[in-house]
Structure 1
Amino acid sequence: MMKLAMSPAAAGLLRALLSRAGIDRNRILLSEFRSTDWRSLTFSGERHRIDLRISGPGAAAIAEALTRDLPDAEFVIPGHVVADIAVEGALVEHADGAVSVRIEALTVEE
């Protein structure tokens, strides 16, 4: 198994999102995760794009639980704050019953 390098903010965000789903993590496939540095005049952080695929029975309900009220959710990521997070586009239902979701977020250092 190949391990991908992720920043502490990216890894914390992924863990927090997976825990929101409330299911066994093996039901959610991380199909793509991109983080890029972000800076403003007073803050520094990262922009994240996360593509997830949820498989198996009840995939649509799991995707709904994962994304429900996402912009208002509180995340605990040591040393970082989730300044902005949203579902990008619509949930995509596949012929095999799986559901794909794309989430975009901005984390800033505390």
Structure 2
Amino acid sequence: MEYVYAALILNESGEEINEENLTDVLDAAGVDVEESRVKALVAALEDVDIEEAVEQAAAVPAGGASAAPAGGDDEGADEAEEEEAAEEEEEDDEDEDAGGEGLGELFG
């Protein structure tokens, strides 16, 4: 993660994201730099518009769920959310039930 943060710092400061600059930022932060990771990140970011990527990431709701399509059926979305919440609640109940079984067996 430090490597990505270093790239974001370089982008924010207007510096070029290259191996030398990335290594300098990581060194300054006290990170043990792995040259292969630096090279891989620089290559991966070569054709990426970081500003656009950050904006897109900020637009995704918490939990990574995608937003409802524009003009979508709000009622259908509400039903889907309710179903998902009910499934999560069932899973939680199952986890709680299963958790006590093993303890009873341990203590006879």
TM-score by length of 2: 0.27
Relative contact order higher in (CA < 8 Å, ≥ 6 apart): 1
**Structure with a larger share of its residues in helix:** 2
Bigger Rg, structure 1 or 2: 2
Question: What TM-score, normalized by structure 1, do the two folds share?
Answer: 0.27
Structure with the higher fraction of residues in strand conformation: 1
